[in-house]
Structure 1
Amino acid sequence: MLGHKLKSYRKKQGLSLSDLSQLTSISKSYLSYIERNVKQNPSIDVLKKIAAVMDITVEELIEDTLPEFQNEEVLLDEEWVLLIEQAIQEGVSKEQFKHFQDYIKYVNWTKQNKNNGGKLHER
C-alpha cells in the first residue's frame, strides 16, 4: 500500500521518479522498489525525506488508507502501468501503439483461421 500511495502522491504533484530522486537524494531505483512494493519497509529517514519533498507528513504517507484515493478505481496493475510508461519514455507514439494493436489482432485472426482449416468464419 505504501508504494501505491507514494506513486499517487508523486504523480499528483507532477513529479517523475527522476525528479523525486534528485529532490530527496534517494536513488531512482530505490524509489522504484518502494513504489512497486519490492521494498516494503523503508527506513524512517527515507520516509522523512520523501514526505518533506511531497510537503506531507510521514504519517500521511504510511497511513493504511487515503480518503482521497479510496474511490479511485485501479484499472491497470502496476506492471501494465510500468510497461506503458516505458513505451512512452522510449518514444512509442499513440499511432505506433494503435498499429501494434492492429498487428496483434491480425496475428490472432491468422491463428484462428489457421486452426479452422483456413476457412473464414460464416456469420
Structure 2
Amino acid sequence: MIGKNICEIRKRRGLSLTEVANQAGIAKSYLSNIERGLNQNPSINVVERIACVLEVDLKALLKTENSMEFSTQRLDEEWVDFVNRLEESGIEKKQIQEYKTLLEFIKWKNNRK
C-alpha cells in the first residue's frame, strides 16, 4: 500500500521517479521496487525522506484503503453539511451547482497534472 500511495502522490505532484529518488537520496530502482510492491517494507527513514520530497505528512504514505475509505466518507459528510449550510444561508441551488461545476473542473485539472 505504501508504494501505491507514493506513486499516486508523486504523479499528482508531477514528479518523475528519477526526481523523487535523487531528492530522497535513494536509487531509482529501489523507489521503483517500492512503488511496484516488490519491496513492501522500506525503512521508516526512507519513507520519511520520500514524504519530505513529496511534501506530505508521513501518515499520507502509510494510509491503507480502509482508512482512505473512512476519510472519503467523512469528507462526503462534511460536504453535505457544507451544502446544507449554504442552502440555509439563502444561497440558491443554481448557485451551488455553479460552484460544483467549478470544483469539478479544478479536480479534473489537478488529476491531469
Band of TM-score, shorter chain: 0.5 to 0.7
Q: Which has the higher contact order (CA 8 A, sep 6+)?
A: 2
Look up the equivalent residue of 1:42 and give its one-letter code.
P
- Cα distance between partner residues in 2 of 1:60 and 1:4: 11
* Partner-residue secondary structure (3-state), 2:14: coil
- Cα distance between partner residues in 2 of 1:21 and 1:47: 11
Aligned to 1:3: 3
Per-residue deviation, 1:2: 1.4
Task: Please say if 1:39 is aligned against 2:39.
Answer: yes
Per-residue deviation, 1:41: 0.6
Percent of paired sites with the same residue = 40
Number of residue-to-residue matches in the alignment:
68
- Cα distance between partner residues in 2 of 1:51 and 1:21: 11
Per-residue deviation, 1:64: 0.7
**Unpaired segments of 5 or more residues in structure 1?**
71-123
Per-residue deviation, 1:21: 1.1
Q: Give TM-score scaled by structure 2 length.
A: 0.57
**Unpaired segments of 5 or more residues in structure 2?**
73-113
What RMSD in Å do the two structures reach over aligned CA positions? 1.4
